[in-house]
Amino acid sequence: MKYKGVFVKKIFLAVLVFGFLINTAWADGQKTVIKLACLAQKGVSAMSYLDSTVFPGYTKATDGAVAFDIYWGGVMGDEEDYIAKMRTGQLQGALVSGSGSVTSAVCPDLSVVGLPFLFNAWAWDEVDYVMDKIKPHLFKEAKKKGFKLVLISNVDFDQIYSTKNNIETIEDIKRSKILTWFGSLENRMLRSLGVSPIPVNVPEVVSSIKTGICNMAISPSMWWVGAQLYTDTKYVNPLPIRYVPGFIIFSMDVWGKISEKNRNIINSLAPEYERGFKKKIKESNEKAYRAMLKYGIKEVKVKPKELARFKEATRPVWDELAGKSYSKEILDEVIGQLADYRKNKKNTAQSKSVYKNKKES
């Protein structure tokens, strides 16, 4: 009887192990199709990198277990629609920008990097440093909201476009009809300049500009060209009034259906794909901007004294939105990280300068 009991236990354990192995193999081999939407057109500029490298790369690396059905060109609505459809299961993924309505739903503390003049002009090194520092926190916050941050990239340092008035001073903006679609942070920033912006939804931006309802907007160059608004534009000011991130998200529901092995693979590919996508985005924006100037749009720039006025007028927004659009803790952390980075960068530059002078002497 004793031996019979031991035999039964061994059989029971063998069945459990066999069942575990079968379930694991089934999970690894299960195909998950992710329906993912974005506003950009297929094959346009940097989007070709996603279409030719990123999405096929995930599928290949997971041996076909993770596949994608991409809805390009806004056919599934705007970015707010994507978030709503991800919550109901109609979509499982999206490529979105850091607009206020999106970040508030997905990852509120990500809004902090879009504060006016937070980063120095075109300081991509500052952006990369800060984002690397706060990424772990952003991942946790998005998870609590029901989303997986898959890739975090850049959209651009936005410029100001005008179909009517010159854009050299705050007063030029005040006498213009500037639209806003990017959420509460953009709205508050414009109001800090003494402007009453006209709120519109994304699908209405083009018609609002072309019909003259609005004659000024803030936008990345690639989007402005893609929307063919450059044909109506007279002036552009490259004043980098804000940085805008972009990111790919999955719903946590679909992320949970992917095997642990394939989740690890997707995570491991993130650094490579982020670098590649950022490079393509930067190249595409620069190419679009040069093309607009060649087309005949006049570039105007803000003088140093006027830039100081812009920064002084918009700086209170940082503290006003703390605890509302993002936490006070993340604002303090980002400000501290930037201060440390700039200090170390300055010290490094000074050290190199001293070494060079000694070498030359």
Residue 357 vs residue 284, higher pLDDT: 284
Residue 356 vs residue 120, higher pLDDT: 120
> What pLDDT score was predicted for residue 5?
53
Mean pLDDT of 296-302: 97
- Residue 191 sits in a domain whose CATH number is 3.40.190.170
Give the pLDDT band of residue 351 (cuts 50, 70, 90). Answer: low
Give the pLDDT band of residue 17 (cuts 50, 70, 90). Answer: very low
- Phi, psi of 145, rounded to the nearest 5 degrees: -85, -5
Give the pLDDT band of residue 201 (cuts 50, 70, 90). Answer: confident
Q: Residue 159: beta bridge partners?
A: 219
Pairwise CA distance, residues 142 & 137, whole Å: 9
Pairwise CA distance, residues 140 & 147, whole Å: 9
Residue 261 falls within a domain, yes or no? yes
Q: What is the DSSP string of 12-24?
A: HHHHHHHHHHHHH
Pairwise CA distance, residues 106 & 296, whole Å: 39
pLDDT surpasses 80 at 358? no
Task: Please say whether the beta carbons of 218 and 242 come within 8 A.
Answer: yes
Q: Is the dihedral of CA 97, 100, 103, 105 positive or negative?
A: negative
Other Cβ atoms within 10 Å of 7 Cβ, number: 10
Residue 318 falls within a domain, yes or no? yes
Closest CA to 222 of 230, 234, 214: 230
> What pLDDT score was predicted for residue 45?
79
- Give the DSSP letter of residue 181: -
Give the pLDDT band of residue 15 (cuts 50, 70, 90). Answer: very low
Range of the domain at 320: 31-360
Mean pLDDT of 170-190: 95
Pairwise CA distance, residues 83 & 128, whole Å: 26
| Helix 124-144, helix 328-360: angle, nearest 10 | 150
> What pLDDT score was predicted for residue 10?
46
Residue 95 falls within a domain, yes or no? yes
Residue type, 235: Y
Closest CA to 156 of 315, 275, 280: 280
- Give the DSSP letter of residue 217: E
Number of domains comprising the chain: 1
Residue 339 vs residue 27, higher pLDDT: 339
> What pLDDT score was predicted for residue 346?
83
Residue 314 falls within a domain, yes or no? yes
Residue 14 falls within a domain, yes or no? no
What average pLDDT is seen over the chain? 90
Pairwise CA distance, residues 248 & 54, whole Å: 11
pTM of the model: 0.86
Give the pLDDT band of residue 225 (cuts 50, 70, 90). Answer: very high
Burial class (CB in 10 A: 0-12, 13-18, 19+), 43: exposed
Residue 109 falls within a domain, yes or no? yes
Mean pLDDT of 135-139: 97
What is residue 58's three-state secondary structure?
Answer: helix
pLDDT surpasses 80 at 115? yes
pLDDT surpasses 80 at 359? no
Can you read off the two tokens belonging to residue 165?
Answer: 């008035």
Residue 11 falls within a domain, yes or no? no
pLDDT surpasses 60 at 168? yes
Mean pLDDT of 33-55: 92
- Give the DSSP letter of residue 9: H
pLDDT surpasses 90 at 128? yes
Task: Please say whether the beta carbons of 225 and 288 come within 8 A.
Answer: yes
Residue 172 falls within a domain, yes or no? yes
